[in-house]
Amino acid sequence: PQAGLNLAAGSSWAALVNRPSTAAACSARIRVVPGAPSRSYLVDKLRGLPAICGSQMPKAGVAVPAAQLAAIEAWICNGALND
């Protein structure tokens, strides 16, 4: 997996929640901050915000659908539980 980010079932939670970005210039950013999508680097990467390192996710050039992004943000808002 790129940047050590394994998103396979059973591995993704441990790789995302309360884990720092592996990008050197963004290593102070936490991938997922439970309860705080606005502080979660994953959300910034999915939205393609200017403060990210590298390019927007996913790299395929197609943005994550709005409903899927809303579901990710809701999961984070609800504590980013390992479920």
The model's pLDDT over 25-47, given as tens digits with 9 standing for 90+, comes to 999 999 999 999 999 999 999 99
pTM of the predicted model, to two decimals? 0.89
Q: Specify the 3-state DSSP secondary structure of 7.
A: coil
Give the pLDDT of residue 3: 66
**C-alpha distances in Å from residue 26, one per residue of 13, 23, 34, 52, 59:** 20, 5, 18, 7, 18
Residues of the chain with pLDDT under 50: none
Cβ pair 7, 45 in contact under 8 A: no
